[in-house]
Amino acid sequence: MSSPTGKAPSRIRLSLFVFLVVYPLVTSLLYVAGPLTPEWQMWQRTLIIVPMVVLSMVYVIIPRIHRHCHRWL
């Protein structure tokens, strides 16, 4: 899939930008979920966190990366 200018974004650079946003998001959600769910198993916490991360990536993070960082991709 190519951009309007005809040049496809670099997957490596896109991955780097996604990592720079998603890692702190996942880490902070785990820190928040820990005290709220102390008796839960890790798989139960991640069952709640992963949909939030995926929706954030699809509707917020990746579109903003494309919009604001397109010249570096």
CB 21 within 8 A of CB 61: yes
pTM: 0.80
Q: What is the pLDDT of residues 34-73, one digit of tens each?
A: 999 999 999 999 999 999 999 999 999 999 999 998 888 8
Confidence tier at 1 by pLDDT (50, 70, 90): low
Q: What is the pLDDT of residues 8-31, one digit of tens each?
A: 778 999 999 999 999 999 999 999
CB 2 within 8 A of CB 61: no
| DSSP state for residue 2 in the 8-state scheme | -
CB 25 within 8 A of CB 56: yes
pLDDT at 72: 87
